Amino acid sequence: MMIDMNAAKAFAAEWIAAWNAHDLDRILSHYSSDIVLLSPIAQRLAGNGRVEGMAALRSYWSAGLAAQPELKFELIETMLGHSSLTIVYRNHRGMKATETFEFEPGGNVVRSIACYS
């Protein structure tokens, strides 16, 4: 799937807005049913840094949203890759983070890699 910068920026804005709305279904709508998320926070909180499949992702993020009612993201930058994009953002605690999204041909995210400062 080819992505141009306009599509990348639109995806990033919608992804941030979905998180800021704390709307789990809206957040999950961006992802494939066979999503793989790699995250050091998942490693710390769930004991496994690799979250596989929509049901596991729903469970993980549902608990995360419940535990962080003040969660809010601020988009800093969007970077374009091959069938992928990376966003740089800051959370409500001032922590800088990146998330890289790899897209399947249908347009949903099939792999996401989160990194934190």
Total length of the chain: 117
Query: What global pTM score does this model have?
Result: 0.94
pLDDT of residue 37: 97
- Whether the per-residue pLDDT at 2 is higher than 90: the answer is no
How many distinct helices (H) and strands (E) make up the chain? 4, 6
- Whether the per-residue pLDDT at 31 is higher than 70: the answer is yes
Identify which of 92, 88, 104, 115 has the alpha carbon closest to the alpha carbon of residue 12. 88
- Whether the per-residue pLDDT at 114 is higher than 80: the answer is yes
Q: To which H or E segment does residue 66 belong?
A: helix 54-67
pLDDT digits (tens, 9 = 90+) for 44-78: 877 889 999 999 999 999 999 999 999 999 999 99
pLDDT of residue 40: 94
Mean pLDDT computed over 13-18: 98
The domains located in the chain, with CATH, are 8-116 (3.10.450.50)
Mean pLDDT of the chain: 95
Contact between 110 and 34 (Cβ < 8 Å): yes
